[in-house]
Structure 1
Amino acid sequence: MAPKDPLLGTLKVCVLNLQSSGGTVSNTNPHLASCCELLELVLRKGLQQPVLSLVHRDYWQCFEQLTRQDACGRLSALSLVVEQTRVCRKLLSAQGRGRYLLRLALIRKALPQFITHLLHTPRVLEWYSPEVSILRNEQFMEPFMSLLLVLSHMDFKLDMENCSFLDESWLLPVCETYEVVPCREVGMVLRYLSGRVFVLDLLPDGQAHVDKFISPGDIIDEINGTSLRNSKNKQAGVVLSRLKGCPLSIGVLRWRAQDGTVYRPLVKLLRALRTENPAMQLGPAPSQQSPPKDQRTSPSQCPKERRIAYIVQYLGKANIGMRGGKEVLQLAIIQVLQKNQPSKDALLAVKETHLTCTDRNSQLEVFEHHYPEISCVGRSGKPDYTIFAFCMADSPETPQSTGFCCIALRASSTKECEEIVYRIAAGFKHTEWFV
């Protein structure tokens, strides 16, 4: 009877579970972490440590030795995976880099090629014990390579930006992106702990408090693509000051895991934060926060991709001269209505950074405007309180020479009209550009 290795038997069960899930494998697949952990155990089994060296050898060092160029002097496909892993600034350890490489190899369907290349590189293969390692046992290698081929025929769509905790765990946190319009103050109190940037509190009337997207206990992972992993004190503030007046894209790691419990790798750090700051209150996940009573979704709203979409009537647009402040809004609305333009049934999406309006019949975009372009917003007076409008510069880059225009729309009710005006105002009142 051929010998069996319990690791390979368990890996086979896990691969079959992944396969039976069907479709694309994403970060949320319940079998993904177990499969990756078993692959890691196979790659570590029998890996010998160098004599008289203080550096602990891991399988990442094995893969790192496989870097090579093709006949034209370009990096091979495997070397590109290694290089992408090497330059990732969110990883600090060999363990984290090895895990990142495994996930990237699953996406690129390159894991069988990596192992084949390793087997044909004697100077690296010698690091493994022939008595213990699966990689140096011919009877074990055949079923192992078969399992890798099964994995290479599956589609993996993994978020490679969510990798800051691979140094510590195969379990990944909930990772989301928070987009902020150019604002005077984001309004977050930060605490640097163990190379992480924690949100300690939100300042009243700051943009983060208004948007209710981020909560105390969450981690700022990156800002506009700049990683804050292993940050020192005030580094996030330096990045924010450099980007003052620009739109911000903030990568956020939630303190709460997918199942609603505290994300396990954060338990000790959150406990330390609470010890230092007894008044700190871990807020609920933003998706669990109840909106204010006057902001709850009405029947004509369509929740969609963290935005609110309203069914409205597009009434038209008119040039209103060289003034675009709130004092001219009522006259501007009258100017639009007097043009008697054909109205359109439309969907108005109030997003985090801008507005979009789409024709409900043709699905064509009617307009898209970012909040910094808007100079004022408000609703009409008597007799129709369901009409609202906003003014903006024709060309925001040179508003002093092009004048202003007004766009008017009709909501389905007076209450909804007020709500839309409030949401648009909340979006643009924090921006840096004013008329």
Structure 2
Amino acid sequence: CVLNMQSDGGVVTDSSPHLPSCCELLELVLRKGLQPVLSLVQRDYWQCFEQLPHQDTCSSLAVEQTRVCRKLISAQGRGRYLLRLALGRKTLSQFFTHLLHTPRVLEWYSPTSSILRNEEFVPFMSLLLVLSHMEFKLDMENCSFLDESWLLPVCDTYEVVPCREVGMVLGRVFILDLVPGSQAHVDMFVSSGDIIDEINGTSLRNCKNGQAGVVLSRLKGCPLSIRILRCRAQDGTIYRPLVKILRALRTENPNAQLGLTPQQKQANVGQKPPGASQCLKEGIVYIVKYLGKANIGMFGGKEVLQHAIPQVLHKNQPSKEVLLDLKETHLTCTDRNSTMKLFEHHYPEVSCVGRFAQPGYTIFAFCVDSSETPRSSGFCCFVLKAGNINECEDIVCRIAGFKHTE
């Protein structure tokens, strides 16, 4: 497996198919011949590394970082975390060398069965040198399942703009359902069965029942950064360590469609996201017409839209077909023909958004503070036209957050 990774070339990441086998090999060598304490309590290799003298700063910092990681519970999880850390920092051979030169720790291994204490270690050391010359780029924050498995889940970060209600119904740290019309349901980023690993840097690995909901309620109205562990692997199958847990959750919550994405749930009931021209992981893209913009003065409340929109329409400027990309934290508008970006604004910059109260209801606009833009002052109103009334309403709801943002 080591030679396979080397032959693949490039940087080794968590998606490498040979990485788990390589880590299992290292773990097997470290466990073989490790004798129990007083023939009763079984040691693990984490205790060996933990007892090594602090001969260099790099090794001691790695051990300390492993010791204080709140996502790890068992000695097995900590040992695996340390091995991944050593691979990324190219210090794995140093740990083995320290182990061999620390007699009080080395004596924990059987001289007859341990690889570390016989001639078999020489070819193994050459493999360690090969690993030390390879580049590893591993996500060390994705470690909550190291206690159970070397196979790690897909990990993503869900960035949520300030909103009244995220809309995720939680069972411990599992997402059981999404509230229809909520921010999470609109964003379609998380799925039932996914796991919340962190919220704004706070680990939920060993939290008590309901603690995730308490953390979310305390951060109500604040920007959120949520680390999500996917219930499905890269190939679309259920992440193996979760199979039994999800089966039990389905028994406890028979109405929860665990493991289905919001798009799949909508397909099950014969519905499609209204107005979306293209759904992407990063956002939703609409094909609309850009009608123009106008400076509206120092007030950017919603009341100005019914005056600002006619101001733009009376200019009779030629419209442009554009791609309006509503991402998780900001929106961008790009000319569909030239691919030139016309503008980009983060959602907190938008002071108001709404439709034009005229027959058709397909024209909408939003205002942003342009005082920081050179040669501009006050607020600027951008006016666009959607393809139909449903698409227009959907865009306005997504920008404003509808019931989610103030």
Rate the CA distance shift 1:420–1:249 in 2: closer, same or farther, 3 A: farther
Q: Is 1:347–1:358's contact at 8 Å kept on the other side of the alignment?
A: yes
Deviates further, 310-319 or 85-94: 310-319
Structure 2: runs of 5+ lacking an equivalent: none
Matching residue of 1:82: 63
Deviations 1:313-336, CA, capped at 9 Å, x for gaps:
5834413442521x4324213434
Rate the CA distance shift 1:277–1:293 in 2: closer, same or farther, 3 A: closer
Matching residue of 1:173: 153
Equivalent of 1:158 in 129, 132, 138: 138
Amino acid of the residue matched to residue 247 of structure 1? Answer: P
Quote the Cα distance in structure 2 between the aligned partners of 1:271 and 1:432. Answer: 32
Q: Secondary structure at the match of 1:232?
A: coil
Deviates further, 235-244 or 273-282: 273-282
Rate the CA distance shift 1:67–1:308 in 2: closer, same or farther, 3 A: farther
* 1:354 positional shift: 1.9
Matching residue of 2:329: 353
2:355 equivalent to 1:378:
yes
2:74 equivalent to 1:93:
yes
Q: Is 2:2–2:22's contact at 8 Å kept on the other side of the alignment?
A: yes
Quote the Cα distance in structure 1 between the aligned partners of 2:131 and 2:262. Answer: 36
Rate the CA distance shift 1:46–1:209 in 2: closer, same or farther, 3 A: same
* 1:420 positional shift: 6.4
Task: Report % sequence identity.
Answer: 65
Matching residue of 1:11: none
Amino acid of the residue matched to residue 419 of structure 1? Answer: E
Quote the Cα distance in structure 2 between the aligned partners of 1:219 and 1:263. Answer: 11
Quote the Cα distance in structure 1 between the aligned partners of 2:368 and 2:245. Answer: 47
Matching residue of 1:242: 218
2:10 equivalent to 1:59:
no
2:49 equivalent to 1:68:
no
Quote the Cα distance in structure 1 between the aligned partners of 2:387 and 2:319. Answer: 21
* 1:277 positional shift: 2.3
Q: Secondary structure at the match of 2:152?
A: coil
Q: Is 1:372–1:428's contact at 8 Å kept on the other side of the alignment?
A: no
* 1:103 positional shift: 1.0
Q: Is 1:245–1:432's contact at 8 Å kept on the other side of the alignment?
A: no
Rate the CA distance shift 1:105–1:420 in 2: closer, same or farther, 3 A: farther
* 1:430 positional shift: 4.7
Equivalent of 2:106 in 108, 111, 125: 125
2:203 equivalent to 1:216:
no
Rate the CA distance shift 1:124–1:339 in 2: closer, same or farther, 3 A: farther
Matching residue of 2:305: 329
* 1:78 positional shift: 1.2
2:344 equivalent to 1:367:
yes
Quote the Cα distance in structure 2 between the aligned partners of 1:283 and 1:116. Answer: 45
Matching residue of 1:6: none
Matching residue of 1:115: 96
Rate the CA distance shift 1:295–1:152 in 2: closer, same or farther, 3 A: farther
Equivalent of 1:188 in 151, 155, 168: 168
Structure 2 length as normaliser, TM-score?
0.85
Quote the Cα distance in structure 2 between the aligned partners of 1:230 and 1:418. Answer: 44
For residues 305-316 of structure 1, the aligned pairs below 5 Å read 305-309=281-285, 313=290, 315-316=292-293
* 1:186 positional shift: 1.7
Quote the Cα distance in structure 1 between the aligned partners of 2:281 and 2:245. Answer: 31
* 1:372 positional shift: 6.5
For residues 31-70 of structure 1, the aligned pairs below 5 Å read 31-51=18-38, 54=41, 56-68=42-54
Q: Is 1:314–1:344's contact at 8 Å kept on the other side of the alignment?
A: yes
Rate the CA distance shift 1:123–1:108 in 2: closer, same or farther, 3 A: same
Q: Secondary structure at the match of 1:315?
A: strand
Matching residue of 1:390: 366
Equivalent of 1:422 in 376, 388, 394: 394
Provide the aligned C-alpha RMSD in A: 3.3
Deviates further, 414-423 or 179-188: 414-423
2:216 equivalent to 1:229:
no
Quote the Cα distance in structure 2 between the aligned partners of 1:306 and 1:15. Answer: 35
Structure 1: runs of 5+ lacking an equivalent: 1-13, 71-75, 397-401
Amino acid of the residue matched to residue 105 of structure 2? Answer: V
Q: Is 2:294–2:381's contact at 8 Å kept on the other side of the alignment?
A: yes
* 1:338 positional shift: 6.5
Matching residue of 1:202: 178
Deviations 1:401-421, CA, capped at 9 Å, x for gaps:
x96431235x6xx42896366
Deviations 1:381-407, CA, capped at 9 Å, x for gaps:
689x886421245579xxxxx964312
Amino acid of the residue matched to residue 32 of structure 1? Answer: L
2:65 equivalent to 1:102:
no
Quote the Cα distance in structure 2 between the aligned partners of 1:68 and 1:393. Answer: 55
Structure 1 length as normaliser, TM-score?
0.80
Q: Is 2:353–2:366's contact at 8 Å kept on the other side of the alignment?
A: yes
Rate the CA distance shift 1:430–1:224 in 2: closer, same or farther, 3 A: farther
Q: Secondary structure at the match of 2:47?
A: helix
Amino acid of the residue matched to residue 57 of structure 1? Answer: R
Quote the Cα distance in structure 1 between the aligned partners of 2:198 and 2:349. Answer: 24
Deviations 1:170-197, CA, capped at 9 Å, x for gaps:
11112222222222122222223xxxx1
Amino acid of the residue matched to residue 34 of structure 2? Answer: L
Matching residue of 1:259: 235
Matching residue of 2:246: 270
